[in-house]
Structure 1
Amino acid sequence: MSRVICAGHVNWDITLRVDRLPEPDGEASIRAQTGAGGGSAANVAAGLAGLDVPVSLLGSVGDDDHGRATTKELAESGVDCDPVRTAAGETAVKYLVVDADGEVFVLGCSGVNEAFRADDLSETLLADADVLHLTSQRPKTAAALAERAADAGLLVSFDPGRRLGERDYSATLERADLVFLNDREATTALDQWDAGPDGTTTVVLKHGARGGEVRRGDDVSSDDQNRRGDDAVVSHPGFAVDPVDTTGAGDAFAAGFLASRLRGDDDSTALAVANACGALAARAAGARTAISWNAVADLVDG
């Protein structure tokens, strides 16, 4: 089966569940506190492993308890963590504050989560893979990894995340075959990047509770329904669930889309699977949720 390499952040998440998000100079009550592994690349890798896709993770953690705990957790879920680099310093810690409606804001201490380099990815592993999925990381590292993967004939997938507005990812976007963006990120990305007018780029838009859509070529940047061909844009309304915690839902969405396409599904089916995975993540606490094909089928077929 096709192997995916996920490259990017590997974190330790401390989730604080609060009664509400306070106003400035206000206060909220912490109802529960938990710690578990997180980070966008690690989350996607865990989701792919749950969907039976062979997956390797490239990233970096500190030589500390958090680093050992998160790599152990990932390895036990089926992720190949051999490429994860242990660096001097502290593992990145993110504090996720989640309100009663599942909405999240994040406080971060980056630690060593960008200590890995593009040349930490071995030629052997690259030759054994079919897809490189990149997430938020140093732009130069992402661009170098995308170039190596493209030269080796891999499909390059990229989900730049919330730091897209702060970093110039144009070089990586130009090499990507598949790009995941939420609504806010899409506007920023189109300022950095000519979105594949030759029709070779697939953009998957994540609309959260409103589902998502797949666009190709000229239709990536068009809001004019009359310009969209039937084959160029595919949409799915999502699944109605009561959100508990939206942390990691976008990562689960990306994992579902990739896993579905790798088993040969078309865009319509892959989008349904992606939305199901995002919904499963949103209705459970924490950045990572146990995702399986059986759980996906319960939503898609139900």
Structure 2
Amino acid sequence: MDVVGIGNLNWDRLLFTDKLAERGGESPINQIEESAGGSAYNTISWLSKYNLQLGFIGAVGKDPEAKSIFKNLIENDIDHSQIQKKPGRTGCAYSIVDSDGDRTLYTYGGVGSHIDYNKINQKYLTKPKLIHISSFLDQKGHKFTKKILETDNQFSYNPGPLCREQGLEKLKPILKKINILFLSKKELEDLTGDKTNKAHQKLLKIGVEKVVVTLGSQGSTVHTRQKSYKAPAKDIKIVDATGAGDAFAAGYIKAYINNKNPEKCLKEGNKIAAECLQKTGGSYKPKNDK
């Protein structure tokens, strides 16, 4: 196994409109798309472009959405043997996207964090080159993440909204074991409470090995204890921003496990992010399914 993903598995519903409605208002929906989602799943799905050996650890309910998620996993050749079926509803996300590609996201965790650690095949936690983790939506998932980090492995982590909700002190036990931390510029500011160009230093001092920050149209940077690197973004027309950061992480991880230097990792991340931004939805679908 090259990379294993761990995170909340969702069934995403993307609603496209010309303009977001004001509070209490109404706006027509022009288009609806559905697919498997969740930050870690999005990243793993984009990694499937590279013909890697991929797997996923997660939990779904016993409902039609779970069946659709398994269908997407099979289409992307992602091993799903470690996805547990639980009583209850599969997590879901509703993303409302306007004509500029900006989005508003509403998420429901469902049973996504109800993973039984003792039922996981331990090869999944000891054999991959990297384990990529994204945030769960509750404390149960937070505790599960800490348990996973007790294993001997290389870890990348995308905390997403936990940067704002948990803050630096609560996330320290996790962050000190992370090799690659993926953040947007806003998430970096939320997490550290620092809007200066030295905010990343707080995370390096905790023990994070590489702090990777996406900067939108300004590209991306990676900070290590020795040096910082930057790569420019591609000049493109944005269709939908959903999952662009997750796609970036996929490109970066692919270059990283191939022992590429930091600048090449950033360039590959920017390349895949640009591809994601020019389509609808946050996950990758094989060409024969587009």
TM-score (norm 2): 0.89
SS at match of 1:143: helix
Shift of 1:174: 1.1
Q: What residue in structure 1 maps to residue 215 of structure 2?
A: 207
SS at match of 1:83: strand
Question: Would you say 1:172 and 2:174 are equivalent positions?
Answer: yes
Shift of 1:281: 0.6
CA deviation string 1:130-188 (max 9, x = no partner) = 2111101222111111122xxx2x21111101232213322111111110011111123
Shift of 1:109: 2.0
Report the Cα distance in structure 2 between the residues aligned to 1:30 and 1:200, rounded to whole angstroms: 42
Q: 1:80 to 1:157 in 2, by over 3 A?
A: same
One-letter identity of the residue aligned with 1:75: I
Report the Cα distance in structure 2 between the residues aligned to 1:237 and 1:165, rounded to whole angstroms: 27
Asked if 1 retains the 8 angstrom alpha-carbon contact of 2:255 and 2:265, the reply is yes
Asked if 2 retains the 8 angstrom alpha-carbon contact of 1:211 and 1:237, the reply is yes
Q: Which of 189, 192, 200 is residue 191 of structure 2 equivalent to?
A: 189
Report the Cα distance in structure 1 between the residues aligned to 2:22 and 2:208, rounded to whole angstroms: 45
SS at match of 2:273: helix
Q: Which of 237, 245, 252 is residue 247 of structure 2 equivalent to?
A: 252
Report the Cα distance in structure 1 between the residues aligned to 2:279 and 2:101, rounded to whole angstroms: 9
Asked if 1 retains the 8 angstrom alpha-carbon contact of 2:76 and 2:285, the reply is no
Q: What residue in structure 2 maps to residue 155 of structure 1?
A: 154
Q: Which of 254, 257, 277 is residue 272 of structure 2 equivalent to?
A: 277
Question: Would you say 1:140 and 2:118 are equivalent positions?
Answer: no
RMSD, matched Cα:
2.0
Q: What residue in structure 1 maps to residue 197 of structure 2?
A: none
Q: What residue in structure 1 maps to residue 64 of structure 2?
A: 65
Asked if 1 retains the 8 angstrom alpha-carbon contact of 2:36 and 2:68, the reply is yes
CA deviation string 1:66-104 (max 9, x = no partner) = 111112211221111111111111111111100001111
One-letter identity of the residue aligned with 1:126: L
Question: Would you say 1:50 and 2:49 are equivalent positions?
Answer: yes
Asked if 2 retains the 8 angstrom alpha-carbon contact of 1:102 and 1:243, the reply is yes
Once the two structures are aligned, what percentage of the paired residues are identical?
26
Q: Matched residue pairs, number?
A: 274
Q: 1:198 to 1:95 in 2, by over 3 A?
A: closer
Q: What residue in structure 1 maps to residue 25 of structure 2?
A: 26
**Long gaps (5+) in structure 2:** 195-200
Question: Would you say 1:289 and 2:284 are equivalent positions?
Answer: yes
Question: Would you say 1:17 and 2:16 are equivalent positions?
Answer: yes
Q: What residue in structure 1 maps to residue 198 of structure 2?
A: none
TM-score (norm 1): 0.85
Shift of 1:200: 6.2
CA deviation string 1:181-232 (max 9, x = no partner) = 1111112333599423388610000112221100012xxxxxxxxxxxxx61
CA deviation string 1:30-68 (max 9, x = no partner) = 110121111111111111111222111011111111111
SS at match of 2:82: coil
SS at match of 1:197: helix
